Chain A
Amino acid sequence: MVILKYIDTFSSSRGIGMPNDPIIVVKELTKVYEGDIVAADHVSFEVKRGEIFSLLGPNGAGKTTTVEMMEGLRTPTSGDIRIFGVDVNKDYASIRHRVGVLPQEFEPFDRLKPPETISYFAGLFGKKMTDEQVTNLLKTVGLDNRAKSLSMKLSGGEKRRLGIALALVGDAELLFLDEPTTGLDPQARRSLWKLLEGLRDEGRTILLTTHYLEEAERLADDVAVMHLGKIIARGSPEELMDKFGGGISILLRGCGEEALSRTQALGFKVEQVKGDLKVDLAPGDSVREAIRRLDASDVPFKDLITIEPTLEEAFLNLVGSKMEGGVLKQ
């Protein structure tokens, strides 16, 4: 019994090595297209089991090329990709059923209904799904009420949900989602984020590419900022904001005229924002300490708000320009 249980545990984890080992290891991955266009330039990173990893960058940064090499759809010029310990270039077929893919700009087959599309893909993976299993999967992605519509009638958000359902057909442990929310309205985007968080909470690992900073900030446990084919920064959103976003600011509201000079006298870096004062802390400064000092001083204010640095600021500092809709603004 004990032995059986051991085997059961082992086989259910399905991985090689310990659960904390990275599920994806990418080393020095390079892709050069015809005409010497370098889409990926010595890209290296690791993705841990059970996390949402985000490749963040503007359009043309090389995100899709990188992901498609990991999906076995493109052959790297050089470098090494290991997923579940398997060399993707040599034996992608052996791990294919453990990986689910949502391609960029995914569109479902117009004239198939969502349950038919799911059964079709299950068949391609050699699985026979019962009607109940199909309905459950549709429920997971929130499409159970659209089972009778042809896919062409679905909204943009619903189409992506169907795409995610297809990625889940093989009960994949690892999901590659290439810009899953691009082109969706804010409401559809937010509800898709909830779905992705739910999938992570079930223990799945998700690698998603995005050019939405708020998406990476909200979803990702780990972010790699990609620019011109290179990874220029790595870390959790918090780490990136701490490192590149500047320090935390404290906004003093409803303070009088004399507040500026008094705050400056305390040694803070201060600027006037409309009627309020914005106190910028240096990275690493203790917020608690700063608040205590401001509170104890005779600086008059009605209210105090702390402002966290955003990923947007971090990105601006890293790349040197803002990004809107995936396009860099000069």
Chain B
Amino acid sequence: MSRILSDLKAFGLQYIRSPVGAFFALVFPLILILVFGSVFSQTESVEVSLPVQDLDGTPESIEFLGILNQTGTLKISMIPTSVDLEDYIKENSLPLALLIPEGFGASVSNTNSSTGDPEPIPVNVTLYGDPSRTTYNVALGSVSAAAKIKNYDIFPGAYPVVGMDTEDIVAGGYQYIDFFLPGMIAFTIMTNALFAQSVTSAEYRTRGYFKLLGTTPLAKWEWVLAKFLWYVIILSASIALMFLVSIALFGVRVAITASGIAIILCGVLLFVSMGMLIGNLAKDSESASAIANAIGFPMMFLSGTFFPLEMMPDFLQGIAMVLPLTYMSEGMRSTMIYGNEVGALINLAVVLVLGIIFYIAASKLMRWKEK
């Protein structure tokens, strides 16, 4: 234990004294929060995916779905009618969903029994969504436009038959910054652990530090554990700072949760190990840094840190699914925004398993003693 503490202290001193390390851990995340928090605008026209649960299933509701599809802004997918919609939304961390109630078709095609004239009864579809997100407004506009078209078909010029209710699927009004912060935490863990550790490991190898430490009683696993602990410490400080600034300047409302902390710890393990693996495979610290950048930069932008995954085209979403950072961001958001602990745990499991795989690979490849 004293060996680990000695190593932890010495490494921490070096880390803090390296201007690059301190900058990326403590200053860079704050810059991004300031920039994205104040600049991010809500104007974009993209196809928004809208899962729909059609409990009606009559030609009328199918026709309404057709109108929704024709708006061109929505990509409709179906939710099975057998599930409870609110549970389903929570379990899948859905940012948006539409409910067409049972009896929708009967209402709009109702006829007066005595006169035989059409006499529709007003009926509402329900849009579930998170008003803080840009995609919500797109869906809101499109669904109400579709309702207007449908009303015109039924009763040109008369009173509206199809209306719309809205349900917030998150507690309280969240803003973009609330969406951004959990992703930002995942992002900061990835950049710091991956970039710093890959260079550190390569440097320790090429400059003979591993050999030097190999002559002391310090064991390889103790060295690795000390690195893990250091990144937990420095990144906890970084996360605390991010919260402070976000609360002070943007009134952020999300809070850290137990499963969020578990995801953070597993994420540190994953990206420290990945950094060690790169550092041990690369020729020197320059190429280690290049490899870490080549892996890290696509992850930064494709893992839903800065904007929701569902806003990206399908093929990019496919890429996102193989990027480990995606699971960290999604897990953090599931627990911190949606209170979806099941979804958070699934993502946590992915990060943990990947973390263990990378840890084993990295320790196997790390040469403390020479052959």
Residues of A participating in the B interface, judged by any CB pair closer than 8 Å: 68, 71-75, 93, 96-97, 99, 101, 103-107, 109-112, 116-117, 119-126, 150, 166
State whether A123 touches B13 (Cβ < 8 A). no
Give the nearest-CB partner of B7 in chain A. A124
Instruction: Tell me if A73 and B214 are in contact (CB < 8 A).
Output: yes
- Is B207 an interface residue, CB under 8 A from the partner? yes
B14 within 8 A of A: yes
A121 and B216 form a contact (CB under 8 A) = yes
B222 to chain A, nearest CB (A): 9
Q: Say if the beta carbon of B5 comes within 8 Å of chain A.
A: yes
Which residues from chain B contact A71 at a C-beta distance below 8 Å? Answer: 215
Within 8 A of A (CB), among B1-26: 2-3, 5-7, 9-10, 13-14, 17-18
Report whether B13 and A96 are in contact in the complex, using a CB–CB cutoff of 8 Å: no
Looking across the interface, which residue of chain B has its beta carbon closest to that of A170? B216
Give the residues in chain B near A68, CB-CB below 8 Å. Answer: 211, 370
Interface bin, chain B: 20 to 34
- Are A96 and B10 closer than 8 Å at their CB atoms? no
Given that A96-B215, A97-B217, A123-B6 are contacting pairs, would A112 and B13 also be in contact in the complex, using a CB cutoff of 8 Å?
yes
Task: Convert B266-296 into 0s and 1s, putting 1 for each residue whose CB lies closer than 8 angstroms to a CB of A.
Answer: 0000000000000000000000000000000
- Do B207 and A101 touch across chains, with their CB atoms under 8 A apart? no
Q: Across the A-B interface, give the 9 residue pairs with the lowest CB-CB distance, nearest first.
A: A123-B6, A120-B10, A101-B215, A111-B17, A111-B14, A124-B216, A124-B218, A74-B370, A103-B211
Q: How far is the CA of A75 from the CA of B10 in the complex (A)?
A: 29
A-B CB pair tally, cutoff 8 Å: 77
In angstroms, Cα B213 to Cα A119, docked, is 14
Are A73 and B218 in contact, CB atoms less than 8 angstroms apart?
A: no
Report the minimum CB–CB distance from A299 to chain B (whole Å): 59
Instruction: Assess whether B209 is interfacial by the CB under 8 Å rule.
Output: yes
Residues of A within 8 A of B207 (CB): 107
Measured between beta carbons, the chain A residues less than 8 angstroms from B218 are 124
* B14 proximity list for chain A (CB < 8 A): 109-112
Residues of A within 8 A of B7 (CB): 120, 123-124
Q: Which residues of A contact B217 (CB under 8 A)?
A: 93, 96-97, 124-126
Whether A123 contacts B215 by the Cβ 8 Å rule is no
CA of A153 to CA of B253, assembled, Å: 47
Q: Decide: B212 and A124 in contact? CB cutoff 8 A.
A: no
CA distance A97 to B10 in the complex (A): 20
A–B complex contacts, Cβ < 8 Å, 7 sampled: A116-B10, A116-B13, A117-B10, A119-B6, A120-B9, A123-B7, A124-B213
